[in-house]
Structure 1
């Protein structure tokens, strides 16, 4: 089997990432040498690859679905939004510029060539490459500069599978309209549809799908059912809405629950750090933006941020900063990760990310941070209280001074700060170290007075992730016409597909 496919979506968050992961896992289980590819991603959820760069977290998950280590080859262009108008531009894993929409155009010719070369290299090495689009291919105002949707499909002659999320409503119109608004040559590559997140009796949807085929000449290859079992390694922060639970809380092993309030920062980065906690029975994790929701939480997590100084000001403006100070005085647990760790300190000197200069931190840790122009991007490993840990770092902020003891001893040296029940670290992914997480949660429970809380001894975050990938593959195999899908990958877009016209 040899070929390639582009999975596009009618909207952002339509399910492109999970569909690509599911197809990759299905093919890998069949012994196909398959790789994922997303030409251009926009996300603040990233991971550090084995080759020392950073890529979108969804592509790291897709690589694991293929049985591969994450690589910058799978996501050569990454945009990390720091504000509504400007994003950090990461090319082949390295941050090279901060750009707005207009000055991004000056990079487009070089990026288009880079993307084409990378995809060609992957196709030469692997049997199959499953590509993921970005946003929607119907963003015709951006067609001339498109690297990831129809621009990529045209350059590489890729058949396109269009995914629509029925949860949003109007999915049949979304699918029809997406095709119809495209130029005729782009329409010729849209080869089929896939419905995502369907609830109920699929027979009630069948007449609509039949009519969609009549109108467009394109089949619907499958209807994937909704399941709330798929939640780990989210593509971006769209799902981290206020008051939303993380995962599916399971009953506790002991008699007490442990409740976790994860603060949903406006420019949250690597929000997936808290997912390891949500894997544990008896741990209920919820995103919050209201200081009142911190009052009854056993643990508050202050996650990473792509705009640390701006999000720190938001904490003060919303009253969350005052609520955190009250928790610290009462000796109640707080964890800060990366940008959240930096906010917990006394002083931030930032002439790089915000240009704000010296800014007072929350003062809950005796810590001074300075932002450096060079970005720290690395994997790291070591131990905490003799327990092996590993993770990765992605940050501009560096510790100038710390009067609090470190609690992690990594290959690079001491890391993090601790004061009573307040912990902070730059290390993302720390809580995925299962033995460490269990030991640390016992400390948190003791500090919170949850004497009846007990940790399970058999929870593996890697195992949960693998099970979700297998579930995705199972859903693809059961609910998608895989014979048609295989033919599409191998043979490309069918000849002479109907061209739709938009009425006037």
Structure 2
């Protein structure tokens, strides 16, 4: 086992040329690789903008990606691992969550008022982790070359400068133009920021390595920085993605069904979809075909329609009505075809919704498919509940402002987890319920019976084992395709010194 230096533990920042370039993949792979070396390692993301979040054991709401990275490290997630979480509620405003608790709403302009305090929180949180762990792997946000935002940056070069971190920049070659993106990212940084860029990693490469080598050599000569790794394209590696950019990415082939038929699941991709990672467990189930849909005709052949979480329930419900999706879902329910609502999706299924918090719309009609009424409260409910359904234990987590009252006196209405069920319509605020294997199989069997499908659940599907296998695959990816010796030296020696400045470097 290699040991980190004593005291202020080494840390490394993984930045990217763009969103979805592969920062999370590389950071998670590094975490897994180090943990398998016996290193006590922790993840960190100073500021995360994502609608996929989770409740940590300490009760804090943090980005789902950081919880997965903590799993890669073999540790439980904490508030310090993602001290600032922004949850967009529209094109201009986001809820600001600090150390796991919401502190207010802000737009791009008013958010500047938060920045000084948030920078302190980020630096303090990183220092906390560096005091408790041997190594901290930090993940940036967006691109470090967003020069219009550099003055208030707390997640990329602002953090690297404050904590004197060496920085790896990841570029996605599958998008095209990766050499220009890597060189341009470096060139747009001011000299003091450039000094911390230690090297590059190229992600999603497919093809003959010898064809890439001349470009790597030229990039080294132009920038004075090494390429520390070229990661090959691999399908279906990543669960728990941060944002809806990744919904179009192939997350692995559907596994062949055990029965005669597949089970077709249509997930309505509302504009402000949140916690769509709830669907991940279905994608690893043999014979379950999961699609994200935005039009009524895409529901026609679905055996199960899922209304997922939403950061803006009332606005997304209005969007569904405008597109005819609300009528299509109601028509399905009238025919006894299965519909599942999770959190915001469950709220949409209610008869009435009172929202003076998220949208300020007041009282509006829900879809009326469940005998329930929703009232949004200023305080957010955060928890890690347990319960039973179909005779199976269920562990989950909940994150919501809406409180739901169910009229169980309505004929045909019965409890379902924390929510209710009426015929073939189910609703719950619990996220992560489908990750419970026995419950998921029982639920899918019930769905198949209602849909009239000859579908058999696989008795041995283990979602936790699937996630572990993918984390190991990410660790293997980093170990086999990066210069791990050079990465060790970066961790042991810290930020590089004396690297050349690449023109044209702006002066801020």
TM-score after normalising by structure 1: 0.97
- Give CA-to-partner distance per residue, 1:168-189, whole Å, 9 cap, x none: 1100000000000100010000
Report the equivalent of 1:364.
369
The one of 442, 446, 450 aligned to 1:439 = 442
Deviations 1:175-223 (A, max 9, x none): 0000001000100000100000111111111100100000000000010
- Structure 2: distance between partners of 1:262 and 1:215: 46
Q: 1:177 aligned to 2:177?
A: no
Equivalent pairs, count: 496
Report the counterpart of residue 424 of structure 1 in structure 2.
427
Match of 1:386 in 2: 391
Equivalent-residue separation in structure 2 for 1:333 and 1:408 (angstroms): 14
In structure 2, the partner of 1:402 is 407
- Name the residue aligned to 2:303: 298
**2:58 matched to which residue of 1?**
51
In structure 2, how many angstroms separate the alpha carbons of the residues matched to 1:239 and 1:163? 17
> Are the aligned partners of 2:351 and 2:370 in contact in 1 as well (CA < 8 Å)?
yes
Shift, 1:246, TM fit: 5.4
Are 2:416 and 2:427, in contact at CA under 8 Å, matched by a contact in 1? no
1:103 aligns to what? 110
Give how far 1:248 is off.
2.2
Q: Distance in 2 between matches of 1:490 and 1:402?
A: 61
C-alpha distance in structure 1 between counterparts of 2:449 and 2:505, whole Å: 66
User: Of 489, 497, 501, which aligns to 2:491?
Assistant: 489
Q: Which residue in the other structure is 1:152 paired with?
A: 159
Which of 307, 312, 318 is matched with 2:312 structurally? 307
Residue of structure 2 in register with 1:455 after alignment:
457
Q: Secondary structure at the match of 2:258?
A: coil
Once superposed, what is the RMSD of the aligned Cα atoms?
1.2
Aligned counterparts, 1:69-468, within 5 A: 69-241=76-248, 247-403=252-408, 405-409=413-417, 415-450=418-453, 452-468=454-470
**Counterpart residue number, 1:39:** 46
Cα distance between partner residues in 2 of 1:246 and 1:14:
16
Q: Equivalent residue of 1:148, what SS?
A: coil
Distance 2:205 2:230 in 1: 7
Contact 1:231 1:247 in 2 (8 A): no
Q: Which residue of structure 1 lines up, in the alignment, with residue 478 of structure 2?
A: 476
Structure 2 CA distance, aligned partners of 1:365 and 1:30? 51
Q: Which piece of structure 1 moves more, 319-328 or 232-241?
A: 232-241
Matched, 1:30 2:33: no
Counterparts of 1:233 and 1:432 in 2: how far apart (Å)? 12
Structure-2 separation of matches of 1:275 and 1:152: 32
2:25/2:474 contact within 8 Å kept:
yes
Structure 1 window deviating more from structure 2 (161-170 vs 399-408): it is 399-408
Cα contact 2:25–2:238 (8 A) shared by 1:
no
After TM superposition, give the deviation of residue 402 of structure 1 in Å. Answer: 2.8
Query: Structure 1: 5+ residue runs without aligned partners?
Result: 410-414
- Give the Cα separation in 2 of the matches to 1:392 and 1:503: 46
Q: Is this contact kept in 1: 2:355–2:376, CA < 8 A?
A: yes
